[in-house]
């Protein structure tokens, strides 16, 4: 079993792990010849299935195992992975390999980074910043062998403990099938959505019976999300004390991908088509935990387009389409919320 790769885009990978680690502490990572998949299935809360093309985050990718497609399954703690990648943010290069240290399998992240070397260059950095941009020192003369003096490398190795999972143990885990959505809509700017949602959640928590720290009753704030097939998204909370809602209009209801449509079904019979026909006052609604939602919206940092699919009173699925590299197959992060009962 071999796995070794360079990280093509440390920033993206780091943002991905940041988003994932806010949603769960441990991920099941499935690596094969083409796809890198991160799955988070917490005991409660939201499920995440992130499927990325290898090229979108890695390069010089080598994988080898006895399983078909050279699949390797790992159980990986996300916070350490994210912490490790933080070391790599200013690195000149970073690579990952699966290895064993002291009998424990680890993902070893090797980062080559330049250090502020000791002596004069430690000051030089700051002095330059303060120097007069029009002074004589603008073109500071540099030593020819600058490499020996300044660009000193430090090799940082971050070892993340992992468990290598057998194919059998993950066989039974499948992406759950959800019934066809009634409404699918492109979400507005996640930054804006998050700011408003968080505000709502806060209000719901602070006005819930029992006050801000009032035990389990107040610990879930139910955020109601609804969409129609005429470009509107509605976000609302209702507590004993207040009802508030925000409505976005003019959003896009994307066409369903014909490739994913079920063959023997008439597109006009699709639940979303029916909802569309029912007019702008027909909504598909789900209730979700406000804090869960807030955490999920942190995927906004990845800068992807987000399509929300509503199954009325049943489930909400977010598809986060990550910006792809080289027009390769799009990488998608799928987040599933279950509807909360009233």
116 is a site residue for another protein (CB under 8 A): yes
Rounded Cα distance between 44 and 32, Å, is 28
159 is a site residue for another protein (CB under 8 A): yes
163 is a site residue for another protein (CB under 8 A): yes
Binding residue for another protein, selected from 6, 9, 70, 87, defined by CB under 8 A? 87
Q: Half-sphere exposure of residue 319, counting CA atoms within 13 Å on the CB side?
A: 14
For the CB of residue 156, give the shortest distance to another protein in the complex, in Å: 5
- Interacting stretch for another protein, rule CB under 8 A, among 44-52, 116-124, 175-183, 310-318? 116-124
Query: In this structure, what are the phi and psi dihedrals at residue 236, rounded to the nearest 5 degrees?
Result: -150, 160
Per the listing, tokens 């009962």 go with 341
127 is a site residue for another protein (CB under 8 A): no
Residues whose CB falls within 8 Å of the CB of residue 108, separated by 6 or more in sequence, listed in order: 96, 97, 98, 99, 101, 157, 158, 159, 160
Confirm if 315 and 341 have CB atoms less than 8 A apart.
no
Nearer to another protein, 109 or 322 (CB): 109
- Interacting stretch for another protein, rule CB under 8 A, among 35-43, 51-59, 145-153, 249-257? 145-153
Site for another protein in 16-55 (CB under 8 A): 26
For the CB of residue 54, give the shortest distance to another protein in the complex, in Å: 24
Q: For residue 14, give the 3-state DSSP assignment.
A: helix
216 is a site residue for another protein (CB under 8 A): no
Whether the CA torsion 245, 250, 251, 252 is positive or negative: it is: positive
Q: How many helices (H) and strands (E) does the chain have?
A: 10, 18
Distances (CA, A) of 99 to 4, 14, 110: 9, 21, 12
Binding residue for another protein, selected from 66, 68, 118, 217, defined by CB under 8 A? 118
- Interacting stretch for another protein, rule CB under 8 A, among 51-59, 73-81, 192-200, 302-310? 73-81
Nearer to another protein, 1 or 195 (CB): 1
154 is a site residue for another protein (CB under 8 A): yes
Q: Which residues bind another protein (CB under 8 A)?
A: 26, 75-77, 80, 83-84, 87, 101, 104, 106, 115-119, 122-123, 148, 152-163
């Amino acid at each position: 079993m071999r796995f070794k790769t360079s990280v093509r885009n440390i920033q993206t990978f780091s943002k991905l792990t940041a988003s994932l680690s806010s949603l769960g502490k441990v991920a099941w990572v499935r690596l094969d010849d083409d796809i890198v998949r991160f799955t988070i299935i917490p005991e409660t809360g939201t499920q995440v299935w992130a499927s990325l093309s290898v090229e979108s985050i890695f390069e010089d990718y080598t994988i080898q195992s006895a399983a078909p497609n050279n699949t390797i399954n790992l159980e990986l703690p996300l916070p350490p992975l994210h912490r490790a990648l933080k070391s790599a943010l200013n690195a000149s290069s970073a690579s990952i390999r699966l290895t064993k240290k002291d009998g424990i399998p680890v993902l070893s992240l090797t980062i080559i980074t330049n250090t502020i070397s000791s002596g004069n260059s430690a000051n030089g950095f700051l002095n330059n910043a303060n120097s007069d941009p029009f002074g004589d020192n603008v073109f500071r003369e540099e030593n020819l062998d600058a490499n020996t003096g300044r660009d000193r490398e430090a090799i940082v190795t971050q070892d993340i403990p992992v468990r290598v999972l057998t194919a059998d143990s993950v066989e039974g885990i499948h992406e759950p099938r959800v019934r066809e959505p009634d409404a699918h809509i492109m979400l507005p700017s996640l930054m804006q959505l998050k700011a408003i949602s968080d505000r709502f959640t806060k209000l719901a928590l602070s006005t819930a019976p029992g006050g801000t720290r009032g035990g389990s009753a107040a610990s879930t704030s139910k955020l109601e999300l609804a969409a129609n097939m005429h470009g509107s998204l509605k976000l609302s909370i209702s507590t004993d004390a207040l009802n508030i809602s925000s409505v976005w209009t003019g959003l896009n209801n994307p066409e369903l991908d014909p490739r994913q449509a079920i063959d023997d079904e008439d597109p006009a019979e699709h639940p979303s088509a029916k909802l569309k026909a029912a007019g702008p006052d027909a909504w598909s609604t789900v209730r979700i935990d406000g804090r869960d939602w807030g955490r999920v919206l942190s995927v906004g940092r990845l800068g992807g387009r987000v399509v929300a699919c509503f199954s009325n009173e049943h489930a909400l699925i977010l598809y986060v389409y990550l910006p792809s590299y080289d027009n390769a197959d799009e990488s998608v992060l799928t987040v599933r919320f279950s509807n909360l009962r009233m």
